[in-house]
């Protein structure tokens, strides 16, 4: 089983935090520009720090893990979210939460 959480969270954060796509901090004309599709060196540095901070919190501090199991006996959409306090299994049939 491979841990897909770093890959999926990294791709999603990379898309959302691309400078100029949704917002740019600092912007060209204001402190925050929305949807400008232009960037500068300061914005790239700030967005890199935001990406690293959010990614580190989600992966290391919250310990989010997404495992896919390729067992043919199980539903192909099986994804397990593991954390210290609970285990959640999401299948096509619904959500089950097991407390430990």
What residue ranges do the domains of the chain occupy? Answer: 2-99
In this prediction, residue 65 carries a pLDDT of: 82
Q: What is the mean pLDDT of residues 19-42?
A: 89
CA dist 9 and 27 (Å) reads: 25
Residue in the block written with tokens 């407390």: 99
The confidence band for 47, taking pLDDT boundaries of 50, 70 and 90, is very high
Other beta carbons within 10 Å of 84: 8
* Per-residue pLDDT at 34 exceeds 60: yes
Residue that wins the pLDDT comparison between 63 and 9? 9
The confidence band for 54, taking pLDDT boundaries of 50, 70 and 90, is very high
């Amino acid at each position: 089983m491979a841990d897909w959480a770093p890959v999926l969270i990294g791709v999603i954060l990379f898309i959302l935090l691309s400078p100029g796509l949704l917002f740019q901090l600092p912007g060209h004309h204001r402190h925050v520009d929305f949807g400008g599709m232009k960037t500068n060196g300061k914005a790239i540095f700030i967005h890199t720090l935001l990406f690293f901070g959010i990614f580190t919190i989600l992966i290391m501090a919250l310990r989010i893990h997404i495992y896919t199991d390729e067992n043919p006996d199980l539903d192909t959409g099986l994804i397990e979210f593991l954390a210290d306090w609970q285990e959640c299994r999401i299948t096509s049939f619904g959500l089950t939460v097991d407390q430990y």
